[in-house]
Amino acid sequence: MKYAIIGTGAIGGFYGAQLANAGEEVHFLLNSDYAIVKEEGLHVISEVYSDIHLEKLNAYQHAIDMPACDVILVCLKTTSNASLLPSLVQPLLHSGSVIILIQNGLGVEADVAAMFPGVGVAGATALVSVYKVGPGQMHHLDYGDIEIGNYNVQDTTIIDKVVAAFDNTGLISRKAEDLNTLRWKKLVWNITFNGMCVVLNTTANKLLADRATYNLSKEIMHEVILGANACGAALPESMVYDMLQFTIAMRPYAPSMKLDYDAKRPMELKYIYENPVAMAKAAGYYMSKVDMLLQQLLFLGKY
């Protein structure tokens, strides 16, 4: 199959390099990094897996120059979807193409499906710690799992093939039984630690080293689980403890929203906070602590 990577940043560069290194045909769309990557290739320096240097790769600066692809992996921040996706994805589509959104948040698949009527859309969550450290250079700290959930793809065998391709890279890859549950599961972590790290100007490991913010983190995670289950997800209360222990064991790093805020880039508030608060409230449960966190983030985003 032919893969397109839309957004060759930390996430797109990491997963695209893994697929290409395993022998898949991958076409990378780049913006400011294009000239350097075309000349020097793509580098992934990993603390866990073998380093990857793609000396020669299919690199493009304009989507119109790319071939039609079977699988379009969208790795942009959701803040760019409305303005960029129509022009970036449309040239890559053929009658059987599938769009897979390796993005965060709730409700993103519905909005993208509305942009491309008749095109199959799926969502994916990535459990990975990776940074872009330079043009075409990614530093991978930990993990790499990817899980894919179907939204409206009719022939789901293509999702099975994508999962198998990621398995072939050595990463852990899964097909989720339910996209809604998959999205809420990731939100338990993202809502808690992305927002708190921005508001308190810190990192997740420091939050969990302090008793007060450890307890607050736990309370917010419980609240998200209640909101998720009101919306038809099936998340056990036990995942709070498991996720806290997982976070404590992680290599210290700043979540993506903290990096965006520090770099004065827009924060992904619509899909990570606004939609979940609104959907849970419509289902009969008000996530009051999450809403308070949202209001603080909206304030910070203005200044």
* Closest alpha carbon to 127 in 81, 203, 190: 190
pLDDT at 239: 96
Provide CATH code, domain 180-302: 1.10.1040.10
For 72-120, how does the pLDDT look when each residue is reduced to its tens digit (9 = 90+)?
A: 999 999 999 999 999 999 999 999 999 999 999 999 999 999 999 999 9
Tokens in use for 136? 């075409």
pTM tops 0.85: yes
Q: Which residues pair with 28 in a beta bridge?
A: 5, 59
pLDDT at 250: 86
Domain boundaries, the chain: 2-176, 180-302
Residues of the chain with pLDDT under 50: none
Q: Which CATH superfamily is domain 2-176 in?
A: NAD(P)-binding Rossmann-like Domain (3.40.50.720)
Q: Count Cβ atoms within 10 A of the Cβ of residue 263 and give its class: 0-12 exposed, 13-18 middle, 19 or more buried.
A: exposed
Rounded distance, CA 291 to CA 293, Å?
5
Same fold, 2-176 and 180-302: no
Write out the catalytic residue numbers.
186
